[in-house]
Amino acid sequence: MLGAFVRAFRTPDLRRKLLFTISIMVVFRIGSFLPTPGVSYPNVQKCIDATADNNLLGLVNLFSGGALVHLSVFALGIMPYITASIIVQLLRVVIPKFEELHKEGQAGTAKLTQYTRYLTIGLAILQSTTIITIARSGQLFSGCEFDVIPDDSWVTLLIMVITMTAGTGLIMWLGELITERGVGNGMSLLIFTSIAASFPGAMWSIAGGANGASKFIVVLAIIVLVIGLVVFVEQSQRRIPVQYAKRMVGRRMYGGSSTYIPIKINMAGVIPVIFASSLLAIPGLIAQFGDQTSDWVQWVSLHVAQQSAPLHLLLYVVLIIFFCYFYTAITFNPDEVADNMKKYGGFIPGIRAGRPTADYLSYVISRITAPGAIYLALVALIPTITFIVLNVDNNIPFGGSSILIVVGVGLETVKQIQSQLEQRHYEGFLR
């Protein structure tokens, strides 16, 4: 593998792409520490040292690489774009116009991408306003006596909203630059950068606590175990054989080839975990604005918002399994696949074309999604349960899903570099 890295940097055009990608990632990390105008950076540092991070905002803080708690220019990170992309995908089921644009090919995809950008800016305005309101009320750092926004005039608050929204737009542009001129998917690599940046500090904090050495070794072993599980499952797939009949087009004969439909065990990716965590964060967020002495607020805080509560873990598993089936049903349409196969003369051996093919694909998807959903739940729960047993704070943000994202993006990027090396008759990373 090291030899493949050396060959990648010896290839001029691939070296330029890699260096361009790395430089954009560096710019992204620098922006994560630039304070937003109107924020007292020294007071923010004092509050970070004096209090624990708010778990309710852990999802946004994860995808911003810790920029949220610093209230930096890139405080929102890539989260508004992720949310907008998911919403646009879900709207394809509800709005026929979106489904028509999806079927139009590159032109329709470009239009949907434009809608995603507009929605990203709108969500950035909404989220920046919410975060600034929480920081202004003191809920971002519970128990901190320092004022992180000394001047709370409407002009200052407006400048902060505009700055954070512009930061989100800049992140979106940087991600598209990586996709066009660099290596890999730009948005995914920026998420990878945000999560990976928090790992060293999290592991160091575990090692520095009570019985730090033993806890560090156990946590490191669990992480290696989860990474091995993720690599094994993400590379696994069910291959459904497909044959194409021979047909004459003019004077040429086409078809007669054999191929397969690759169906991954985990077709939904990390989306079900994100959905489940987002929904479970809503009751705790609502409870933050209620009367802290009331019974329902204390019950929600104890049984739903607390990550170690049995009810929280049970709801977490149920929501992950539900959204795994739900998102797979949205992204994979057996009827559309069967129609395309029939149009080009393709068929599954032993299965008639048309409706029987769609029914067979639905049967396979429903069966293969079950182990995929159980796998996602295990990956999400193993680190969390480990932290509870070891009495360690959840220092690695978002538990196993962060490892799932990092490994998934890393594998996809390595595959793209490998394909470019193979085009130049080099041996790739994966043998």
- Confidence (pLDDT) at 313: 84
More confident residue, 252 or 52: 252
Nearest 5°: the CA angle 381, 411, 374 is 30
Residue 131 structure tokens:
């975060």
The mean per-residue pLDDT over the stretch 81-107 comes to 82
Torsions phi, psi of 337, nearest 5? -65, -45
Evaluate if residue 57 carries a pLDDT over 70. Answer: no
The mean per-residue pLDDT over the stretch 92-105 comes to 80
- Confidence (pLDDT) at 276: 82
305 sits in the region (left: phi over 0; alpha: psi -120 to 50; else beta) called: alpha
* Cβ proximity of 175 and 77 under 8 Å: no
- Confidence (pLDDT) at 166: 92
Question: CA 353, 359, 362, 368: dihedral to nearest 10 degrees?
Answer: -90
Candidate from 50-54, 248-252, 336-340 with smallest mean pLDDT: 50-54
CA 414, CA 5: separation in Å to the nearest integer? Answer: 10
- Confidence (pLDDT) at 55: 46
Model confidence at 312, pLDDT cuts 50, 70, 90, reads: confident
- Residues above pLDDT 90, as percent of the chain: 5
Candidate from 47-61, 239-253, 335-349 with smallest mean pLDDT: 47-61
- Confidence (pLDDT) at 51: 55
Model confidence at 136, pLDDT cuts 50, 70, 90, reads: confident
- Confidence (pLDDT) at 122: 92
* Cβ proximity of 39 and 149 under 8 Å: yes
Q: Average pLDDT over the chain, rounded to whole?
A: 79
In terms of C-beta density within 10 A (0-12 exposed, 13-18 middle, 19 or more buried), how is residue 363 classed?
exposed
Report the DSSP pairing between strands 346-347 and 258-264: unpaired
Render 312-354 in DSSP notation, one character per residue: HHHHHHHHHHHHHHHHHHHH--HHHHHHHHHHTTEE-TTS-TT
Q: What is the DSSP letter of 424?
A: T
Rounded (10°) angle between helices 186-207 and 212-234: 150
- Confidence (pLDDT) at 212: 67
Taking the alpha carbons at both ends of the chain, their separation in whole angstroms is 9
Residue 384 structure tokens:
């969390």
Residue 78 structure tokens:
């890539």
What is the per-residue pLDDT across 142-182, written as a single tens digit (0 to 9) for each?
666 777 787 778 888 899 899 999 999 999 999 889 988 88
Question: CA 402, 275, 69, 401: dihedral to nearest 10 degrees?
Answer: -10
Max mean pLDDT range (78-82, 125-129, 259-263, 326-330): 125-129
The mean per-residue pLDDT over the stretch 95-113 comes to 82
- Confidence (pLDDT) at 53: 44
Torsions phi, psi of 264, nearest 5? -75, 150
Candidate from 114-118, 138-142, 175-179 with smallest mean pLDDT: 138-142
Residue 400 structure tokens:
């196993």
The mean per-residue pLDDT over the stretch 26-54 comes to 76
Nearest 5°: the CA angle 86, 327, 89 is 30
How far is residue 177 CA from its own chain's centroid?
19
Candidate from 165-179, 200-214, 295-309 with smallest mean pLDDT: 200-214
The mean per-residue pLDDT over the stretch 245-269 comes to 74
What is the per-residue pLDDT across 409-426, written as a single tens digit (0 to 9) for each?
888 888 788 777 777 665
The mean per-residue pLDDT over the stretch 389-401 comes to 60
Model confidence at 392, pLDDT cuts 50, 70, 90, reads: low
- Confidence (pLDDT) at 54: 46
Model confidence at 428, pLDDT cuts 50, 70, 90, reads: low
